[in-house]
């Protein structure tokens, strides 16, 4: 039976904002390297599939734990972008992940902003295999730095 938290729908964001977010994240090298497929954006939420790549599997042939943490970090950032200016600079301040089961398939990452703060923004991230089995949970916190500057 599917896990209900994967299926609940929240408040959709305007399509114009989704387009701005996509324009911001598509040029990120890791976005294309991980072949991320955004399923949907909602207010304070992003759900995406991050495909498993056999050439980067862990020792037991499962999705590598470090790559699950990276997936949690990226999708959490995209969830935060639904509540701030997508061009605002943010940085990860901490990430805690708990692995619950081996992931043997692509992973569906469901990231929800806990609080969009003026400085710090914690995001809850749940990761499911394609059979909707919860394989990991993470909390990622971002610091809001300000508007993107030319470098």
Q: For residues 132 and 6, is the Cβ–Cβ distance under 8 A? A: yes
Indicate whether 112 pLDDT > 80. Answer: yes
Under CATH, which number does the domain 4-147 receive? 3.10.129.10
CA-to-CA distance for 99 and 68, rounded, in angstroms?
9
Q: For residues 135 and 102, is the Cβ–Cβ distance under 8 A? A: yes
CA-to-CA distance for 127 and 20, rounded, in angstroms?
25
CA-to-CA distance for 16 and 7, rounded, in angstroms?
24
pTM for the whole thing?
A: 0.90
CA distances from 93 to 44, 71, 85, 149 (A): 19, 16, 19, 20
CA-to-CA distance for 127 and 108, rounded, in angstroms?
6
Indicate whether 121 pLDDT > 60. Answer: yes
């Amino acid at each position: 039976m599917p896990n209900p938290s994967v299926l609940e729908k929240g408040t959709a964001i305007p399509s114009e904002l989704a387009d701005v977010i996509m324009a911001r994240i598509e040029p990120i090298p890791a976005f294309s390297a991980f072949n991320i497929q955004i399923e949907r954006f909602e207010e304070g939420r992003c759900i995406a599939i991050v495909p498993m790549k056999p050439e980067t599997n862990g020792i037991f042939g499962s999705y590598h734990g470090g790559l699950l943490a990276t997936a949690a970090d990226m999708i959490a950032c995209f969830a935060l972008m639904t509540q701030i200016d997508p061009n605002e600079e943010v940085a990860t301040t901490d990430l805690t992940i708990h692995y619950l089961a081996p992931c043997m398939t692509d992973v569906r990452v469901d990231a929800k902003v806990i609080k969009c703060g003026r400085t710090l923004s914690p995001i809850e991230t749940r990761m499911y295999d394609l059979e909707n089995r919860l394989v990991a949970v993470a909390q990622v916190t971002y610091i809001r730095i300000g508007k993107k500057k030319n470098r």
